[in-house]
A and B are shown apart, each in its own frame.
Chain A
Amino acid sequence: MRDSTKLIILYALAALSVGLYLFHDLNGSYDYALPRRGVKVAAMAVTGVAIAYATVVFQTITQNRILTPSIMGLDSLYMLIQTLIIFFLGSTHVTVVNKQVNFLLSVAAMIIFALLLYQLLFKKGNRPVYFLLLVGIIVGTFFGSISTFLQVLIDPNEFLTVQDAMFASFNNVNSDLVWLSIAVVGVCIVIGWRQLRIMDVISLGRDISINLGVPYDRMVRGTLILSSVLIAVSTALVGPITFFGLIVANLSYQFLKSYKHSVTLAGAAGLSLILLIGGQWVVERIFTFSTTLSVIINFAGGVYFIYLLLKESRSA
């Protein structure tokens, strides 16, 4: 089967998921239910595309197909911010109640953190990407430990608010923020899309990339920043969900078997739409909200991750 045929199938399925989610059991409620469902679909689409993109390019620059950008500690930082706000300001403070404020605060903090980290690491010449990842793991664990420590101390009722932020949820996203996220993610992808052919070369490794005249170190830095912005926006919009990227990226590689980023990225984005929107439909209509999508994602993703680990260890 040709790549374009496969992509058409994927996007047909994605369109089907969207249609199913929007119109199934609508009972003519075009004024009330449809706009609300529409916002949720838009939120899932923008998150799915952002995470698919961020994960695929991140895996290319790290030359590793079982990593996700969450290794840089952005998710842990998000949790720390939410915990700190509630610990010091309480669950009724404007930064918790007002979603716009909370969103902007979280996105700003994550992006500033990422830029500081890269600035610090790349100032002293060109360090390998793995050095950055190690620092990311350590800082991430550090943030996670502080969060846990503070969460133990706060009032149990307040903790419920923190817990809300711990799992990604599409059930009460703010429509203004969805439009803002679409704008930011759109700009990132337009910037990134023009460099996909260069990303194809970068997947051949540092030596071959430099041999072929690609400014490798600059591209890696740019891609890391792009990837961080995408993760920051999607995390602040719906919560930590980067694990999801691992699933769609690898399914896309397996299904499309292409080295071209234009193909694998389009595939990963399409799979994101199918899994998120289709999955959310299943959660709402079949499980009738008795579970959340992120629980299912983590469960299914965990199983798939173990499968990938076993497969990688066999091929090595």
Chain B
Amino acid sequence: MIQVRELSKFYGKKAVVEKVSVNIQRGQITSFIGPNGAGKSTLLSMVSRLLDADTGEVLVDKDDVRKMKSNDFAKRVSILKQSNFMNVRLTVRELVSFGRFPHSKGRLNEEDVRIVDQAIEYMELGDMEDSYLDELSGGQRQRAFISMVIAQDTEYVLLDEPLNNLDMKHSVQIMKILRRLVDELGKTVIIVLHDINFASVYSDRIVALKDGRVVKDGPTEDIINSESLKEIYDMDIPIKQMSNCRICVYFNS
């Protein structure tokens, strides 16, 4: 379980994240939703140590994140940000192999190679493992990065808007893979999402943020209703039930 306690981040005097406390359960997909500027990405960055928190603490399975060694942390929690600009030209396999770095320090043994093979297989990248990343489409590249995180083999996987710039087909593909990661491999996925319908269909729990604070936190069915959404987004959003999915019809509200 990841426990976030009273976490705050200030830019100047403005609090971007203010005294946020949430518990994230193992073996589930937890989605962070909320309007632009709500502090979702900042919160995720602080949990994953990309950003230093100004106050508060984060515990991963009861261990204080700040007291953990970088390398030990990287074996337990992985993070993927939305933009991954790189100056070097890598093939898919080379990128995925980097996922083993916390374990192997760059010297891959047979076990590492096997895990890299599996990660590539899992993301169905086998036929393009020797292609360079800059030759791939956005969806394929995103899959390659997720494959790296899978090779990293951490209990917790944090993703910051992994569906950005992806079309419907690829978005669904990525979300299905994340669902499988949880259901088949028992991982814990924490994801920042913009599209509430993806959050509604695929997540077990939803944490809604607004102006740097948690406004709602609970199982998906408790959050996806017109009343709660009104509080989060200041919009009247009707919900339609369609074949086991609750769809928010926000396009003309």
Contacts and interface: CB of A to CB of B under 8 A. Distances in A.
A214 B52 contact: no
B75 A213 contact: yes
B193 to A, nearest CB: 19
Contact of B73 (A126, A203, A213): A213
B29 to A, nearest CB: 19
Interface stretch (A131-139, A170-178, A204-212, A287-295): A204-212
Contact of B88 (A198, A212, A259): A259
A265 B205 CA distance: 48
Given A213-B73, A214-B70, A205 B98 contact: no
Nearest to A218: B70
* Most A Cβ at <10 Å: residue of B78, B79, B101: B101
Interface string B79-113: 11100111111100010001101100111000000
Given A125-B52, A200-B106, A201-B101, A210 B84 contact: no
Nearest to A211: B79
A128 to B, nearest CB: 13
Interface residues of A, number: 24
A28 B74 CA distance: 63
Nearest to A204: B86
Contacts of A95: none
Contacts of A63: 85, 87
A64 B71 CA distance: 26
B52 A213 contact: no
Contact of B79 (A197, A207, A257): A207
Interface in B118-173: 149, 152
A214 B105 CA distance: 10
A99 interface: no
A261 to B, nearest CB: 10
Interface of A: 60, 63-65, 125-126, 197-198, 200-201, 203-208, 210-215, 257, 259
Interface of B: 48-50, 52, 69-75, 78-81, 84-90, 94, 98-99, 101-102, 105-107, 149, 152
